[in-house]
Structure 1
Amino acid sequence: MNESLHLWLIPLLPFIGFLLNGLLGRRLPKAVVSAIALLAPLGSFLVVLLASRAALPHSESYGNWITVGPLNIDLTFVLDQLSLIMLLVITGVGFLIHIYSVGYMHDDEGYWRYFAYLNLFLFFMTTLVLAGNALLMFVGWEGVGLASYLLIGFWFQKKSASDAGKKAFIVNRIGDFGFLIGLFLLLANFGTLSFSDLAQKIAANPTMTGGVLTAIALCLFIGATGKSAQLPLYVWLPDAMEGPTPVSALIHAATMVTAGVYMVARTHFIFDRSPLALSVVAIIGAATALFAATIGLVQTDIKRVLAYSTVSQLGYMFLGCGVAAYSAAIFHLMTHAFFKALLFLAAGSVIHAMGGEQDMRKMGGLRTKTPITFWTMTMAVLAISGFPFMSAFFSKDAILAAAFASGSLGKLLWFVGLVTAGLTAFYMFRLWYLTFFGETRSHDAHSHESPWSMLGPLAILAVLSVGGGWIGAGRFGAFLSPVLGTKTEELTGSLEYIMMALAVAAGALGWFLAHRMYHQRSAAAQLAAPAPAGYNLLQNKYYVDEFYNLIVVKPLLTLSKYFLEWVVDFAILGGLAWLLAGIASLSGAILQRWQSGNIRSYAAWLALGAAVLLYFVLAPHVFGAASLHLGMAGH
């Protein structure tokens, strides 16, 4: 085995930060809480950087974890090209979000609790990524679900925040049930949950396709639809905006919602053997991308626009996975972490300047009052819109090109992705114009720029949003090929440039329409004018929440109410209480007869008790002697 890289330090350092701030933070000075919270992700990031210099892949086993009959599961961490990219994004972007949080959450009374939860989140996410087997991944998977519940509902005094946290937790349990079934199927058919062992067993049987592998892949993908907010389990993510804005940046950009994409890429050797499963992943991804983008067109809450944007961009990543372009999907995951973290943190800076206001209809004119926030957010808007030579220009086009080259279904999905690219540019420039241009429509006359603890991370992320695409352009696939294999269907020659030009044209058209409709405030309502019914449909998010509430939530609540009231409360608890009361009443009646106060009655009971006692004491001897006498007489 190679020399130890001390991979265990990567999750351990955030966990220590969680313990220190969670147990002692209430009594520690705020500066000490901040230092503990920042050193944890920074230390993890430095360990990842040092480990990246070693030969990959590298695994470290820390002993046997679970032994049940023939099943042995080791506590193993694996660092390869895929997990390295993920860890750099998680710890690097996560560290910037921690720095930003110092300024954003400075006056919150739960400051220490917030950073304890944030460190806990990184502990579980790094565990998920480093896991060498599916069960350890599931531990991290469930852990980020717990941490997200705590962070989304951080301001639990607000009912909307506590409800959002519960919604995220419950919806993810639905997806996680599918994940669990997939794990059981893996155990039943392969007898192991180690990713390397699974890959070897499947590779050793080249004729194994479809069938049980399709079932396993689809069950795993159900888990991914919950964690990565895809149709039909996307509904928790927009409500997650109730948490503090840095939490939204962490969940949406670098950690939890990308876990599903990472899991599909990590288990690609299963999906590759099931064309049906890959088609389902691609169709769900493309449908989610378009669906969420249409809702984002009309949202007025700045954070909700970005939330639906996240759902849409995750759809792009699953589209890439569905056409087996895993490297392109992970490439877009990385660039998305840069510009989406920047978008959320810049939105937080806007909200900070507006005194907590999130409605874009009440903003405007912030370009001159918050110039650094304006220019950094402009970089993110250009990046996500696919502006030439910025980060998403490379990663999004790589996915669209792979879809176009994958066959007839892929060409249809490419067109859906192209339309989505135009819609993305439209709603992002709509946000840009409504927030920063025109007249100031806020009653808060004290709008001001954020402190440097918040602006510093914005500047770094702006640089990454502009140049992050160059990191992987032309090299990302080769770097990840030892883990994910090589995608063979690629566009070449003039067709590649035509596809690139069409993607840029779609983004330019989206900007042009947004410019015409929202650059002047008087034109801001023009989107609703031509089709008010369609506008209302989008504004109400296709009534999906109402549909779920009518079909799923209310029936379950009603069933639970009557089940608990009549079966549990009345029949079981009430019946048990009645039975116990009856026994007590009967016992009391008997004891009451005994305790009558009548001396003759007491004497009679005493005599009866003595007779019974004598019977049990003497009867064995009497009957034993009688049987012996009869036996001798018979002889």
Structure 2
Amino acid sequence: MNLLFLTFVFPLIGFLLLSFSRGRWSENLSALVGVGSIGLSAIVTAYVIWQFNVAPPEGGVFVQVLWRWMAVEGFTPNFALYLDGLSLTMLGVVVGVGFLIHLFASWYMRGEAGYSRFFAYTNLFIASMLFLVLGDNLLFLYFGWEGVGLCSYLLIGFYYSNRNNGNAALKAFIVTRIGDVFMAIGLFILFQQLGTLNIQELLVKAPEHFKVGDFWIVLATLMLLGGAVGKSAQLPLQTWLADAMAGPTPVSALIHAATMVTAGVYLIARTHGLFALAPDILHLVGIVGGVTLVLAGFAALVQTDIKRILAYSTMSQIGYMFLALGVGAWEGAIFHLMTHAFFKALLFLASGAVIVACHHEQNIFKMGGLWKKLPLAYASFIVGGAALAALPLVTAGFYSKDEILWEAFASGNQGLLYAGLVGAFMTSLYTFRLIFIAFHGEAKTEAHAGHGIAHWLPLSVLIVLSTFVGAMITPPLADVLPQSVGHAGGEAKHSLEIASGAIALAGILLAALLFLGKRRFVTAIANSGIGRFLSAWWFAAWGFDWIYDKLFVKPYLAISHILRKDPLDQTIGLIPRMAKGGHTALSRTETGQLRWYAASMAAGAVLVIGAIVLVAV
């Protein structure tokens, strides 16, 4: 396991080589370096996972101290890597799924301007995420946290010549920075109160220093939650995620499946001991997830862009993970994070194949009849969509989502359970709406199937992992995270499994009834008054952008316009400007003409005499 540091060193080397090439390398050489660096990292990761399972480190924890960053009084952070069951799971997901996405991207990005620049950014993205999940203290976790934020900005705005893409990148950067400020405040509070940012030391010291519900631990965890909702696109900082679809499709797969949006879930799971001391904040985590997953489900139901539908589905599935964290289902949250990475990467890569085949058309209503022409993409959507909808028994998503629903039931959080069940119905409905509209019905475009190993191999591997095979991979979390309340099941658990499975099937059946065939009923509803209102409301993601624009953006711009010329400086400068104006006015009286001076003297004398007369009277 001493090779652990190579997992992020290889992507960093790839980033540096591609950056120094300045785009002068051929596409083949750029792909070799860009994909090969992640491939080498994947080989090292596989070796580390094998060694961790065959010869587990003492206590199930391996710490690799690379060097001491600084040594000042009371603050001596090490540049150290921390490997346990949780970080090992994240390592496998980030590098494993990330490698498949890079391999697919080598096919997808062919012929695009900035081919080597793309792989430079994605290599840095992977390195930053590994830095985040392997750092042994919150300071270095925060460096990785900011790194993935920077890379998301660069990749979302990859096609920067389009102004809208630049705006989307800027929006993602600003919204996530708001969360980052909250997180930074949380780190300051923890260091001020506990004198360390080492994660394991925090988990040991916090119960000794704080009582349950103490003000400072509540405030610190609330700030950490603020950072998590920003990075993981949960309410109220969720507005950036759908616009992030402006980037290339492999970027969407990377952000949604393997890197950025899972960071918030990892942060809360990693600092679980702190949240256990603030039960109200932990409950708030569940509420945020429950509300987000329902709202995102309705928003996805009316979208027409294939990538935006998947974006809202990501928002909803991350909501399930937050719900799980909120009810204490720590293992369930990470399990769903892993299975979600499999089927969401599959769906995004398959959507990329569809977009390329349809000449970069993304409107599902301009597709149709694709199942015959794109059999691999169709199979990918059927399997990935079934996993997203948690089709019973045969999909990975069923086992992870069902565990979350059971934990919500066992913990007594009926409201969160109902939110999860509503979300399950909406998920199956909007997922198969997409499939039935895009792949069935009348063909509206000429589609050409892709080819090559970089195209079919990632899709094939992810198809397998999205089935029950993926659910057979058990994250080694027993000694890392607290055991949840709902491990004992029995008849009640089986009943809930049947109910959730029936709800998923009902959603698929309703989608078939509504969206296969002529769709007259759907058209009639959509054209009604209430239908138009709800469609517009949900299409705008419940109007959060409009609200934020009125409450924050417009006032900010108005104040900026006022301050643009520095009114304080203008006020202070009024006196010298008045003096200068007076001087200018007086200087104009110096004409050099005798008659002007005589007239001025006469006028002055009249004024003086007049003043004397007035005073005397």
Alignment map for 1:111-260 (pairs within 5 Å): 111-204=115-208, 207-260=211-264
Q: Which residue of 2 aligns with 1:395?
A: 400
Q: State the alpha-carbon separation in 1 of the partners of residues 91 and 566 from structure 2.
A: 52
- Partner-residue secondary structure (3-state), 1:63: strand
Classify 1:437/1:568 alpha carbon distance in 2 versus 1 (closer, same or farther; 3 Å). Answer: farther
Match of 2:346 in 1: 342
Find out whether 1:458 has 2:459 as its counterpart.
yes
Q: Secondary structure at the match of 1:62?
A: strand
Q: Is the Cα–Cα contact under 8 Å of residues 464 and 470 in structure 2 kept in the other structure?
A: no
Separation of aligned partners in 2, 1:179 and 1:205:
21
SS in 1 for 2:277: coil
Equivalent of 1:65 in 66, 69, 88: 69
CA distance in 1, matches of 2:311, 2:150: 20
For residues 468-495 of structure 1, the C-alpha deviation after alignment (integer angstroms, 9 at most, x for no partner) is 44324xx54xx20211121133352110
Q: State the Cα distance separating 1:173 from its structure 2 match.
A: 0.8
Spell out the pairing of 1:523-542 with structure 2 (5 A cutoff): 523=520, 524-529=522-527, 531-532=530-531, 533-542=533-542
Instruction: Give the distance between the partners of 1:501 and 1:17, measured in 2 at CA.
Output: 48
- CA shift digits 1:28-67 (9 cap, x unpaired): 2221111110111111111122222132310011222133
Cα gap change, 1:274 to 1:358, in 2 (>3 Å): same
C-alpha displacement of 1:155 = 0.2
Match of residue 282, structure 2, among 249, 254, 278: 278
Whether the 8 Å contact between 1:371 and 1:449 is mirrored in structure 2 is no
Contact 2:406 2:486 (C-alpha < 8 Å) held by counterparts:
no
Q: Aligned to 2:68, what secondary structure does the other structure show? A: strand
Instruction: Pick from 457, 479, 484 the counterpart of residue 482 of structure 1.
Output: 479
Distance 1:570 1:155, change over 3 A: farther
Q: Where has structure 1 moved over 6 Å in runs of 4 or more?
A: 574-579
Q: 1:497 aligns with which of 476, 494, 499?
A: 494
| Amino acid corresponding to residue 539 of structure 1 in structure 2 | F
Say if 1:254 and 1:575 are closer, same or farther in 2 by CA, change over 3 A.
farther
- Match among 402, 410, 415 for residue 405 of structure 1: 410
CA contact (8 A) 2:194 2:209 kept: no
The answer to whether structure 1 residue 517 and structure 2 residue 514 are counterparts is: yes
Secondary structure of 2:368 counterpart: coil
Report the identity percentage. Answer: 41
User: Aligned residue for 2:424?
Assistant: 421
Q: Structure 1's 149 and 539: CA in aligned 2 closer, same or farther, altered over 3 A?
A: same
Check the 8 A contact 1:283/1:319 in 2, yes or no. Answer: yes
* Contact 1:342–1:462 (8 Å) recurs in 2: yes
The alpha-carbon deviation at position 441 of structure 1 amounts to: 1.9
Q: For each residue in 1:220-246, what CA deviation from the matched residue of structure 2 results, as whole angstroms up to 9, or x when unmatched?
A: 000000000000100000000000000
Calculate the aligned-residue CA RMSD, in Å: 2.2
Shift of 1:343: 0.5
CA contact (8 A) 2:212 2:278 kept: no
- Partners in 1 of 2:2 and 2:45 — Cα distance? 9
| Unpaired segments ≥5 residues, structure 2 | 585-617
More deviation, 68-77/339-348: 68-77
- 2:9 is matched with which residue: 9, 12, 17? 12
In the superposition, the TM-score normalised over structure 1's length comes to 0.87
Gaps of 5+ in 1: 587-635
Hey, what's the Cα distance between the residues in 1 that align with 2:458 and 2:145? Answer: 27
Distance 1:575 1:316 in 2: 60
SS of corresponding position for 2:70: strand
Q: Which residue of 1 aligns with 2:556?
A: 556
Deviations 1:242-268 (A, max 9, x none): 000000000011100000000000000
Q: In structure 1, the residue corresponding to 2:86 is in which secondary structure?
A: helix
Q: What is the DSSP-based 3-state SS (H/G/I as helix, E as strand, rest coil) of the residue aligned with 2:430?
A: helix
User: What is the identity, as a one-letter code, of the residue corresponding to 2:264?
Assistant: G
| Residue-by-residue CA offset, 1:352-374 (whole Å, 9 max, x unaligned) | 11101000110100000111111
Where do residues 45-64 of structure 1 align in structure 2 (5 Å cutoff)? 45-52=42-49, 53-54=51-52, 55=57, 56-64=60-68
Question: Aligned partner of 1:536: which letter?
Answer: A
Corresponding residue pairs, total? 572
1:468-479 maps to which residues of 2 (within 5 A)?
A: 468-472=469-473, 475-476=474-475, 479=476
| 1:181 alignment partner AA | I
With over 3 angstroms needed to count, the CA separation of the structure-2 counterparts of 1:510 and 1:568, relative to structure 1, is: farther
Residue 592 of structure 1 aligns with which residue?
Answer: none
Deviation at 1:420, TM superposition (A): 0.5
Verify: 1:80 aligned to 2:84, yes or no. yes
> Which amino acid counterpart does residue 427 of structure 2 have in structure 1?
T
For each residue in 1:381-431, what CA deviation from the matched residue of structure 2 results, as whole angstroms up to 9, or x when unmatched?
Answer: 111111112101000010110011112xx1111011001100000000000
Aligned equivalents of 1:578 and 1:92: distance in 2? Answer: 68
- Are 1:401 and 1:491, in contact at CA under 8 Å, matched by a contact in 2? no
What is the aligned partner in structure 2 of residue 546 from structure 1? 546
Name the structure 1 match of 2:269: 265
The superposition leaves residues 425-482 of structure 1 with CA deviations (integer Å, 9 ceiling, x where unpaired) of 000000000110000123xx3533454422221111000001344324xx54xx2021
Matching residue's letter, 1:198:
L
2:441 paired residue among 438, 447, 450 = 438
Give the Cα–Cα distance (whole angstroms) in 1 for the partners of residues 67 and 29 of structure 2.
35
Q: 1:533-580, CA deviations, whole angstroms, 9 ceiling, x for partnerless residues?
A: 2222212222211111111111101111110124388569x889989x
| Alpha carbons 1:335, 1:465 under 8 Å: kept | yes
Quick one: which of 266, 281, 294 aligns to 2:298?
294
With structure 2 as the length reference, what TM-score do the two structures score? Answer: 0.89
- Which amino acid is the alignment partner of residue 329 of structure 1? A
Change (3 A) 1:571 1:448: farther
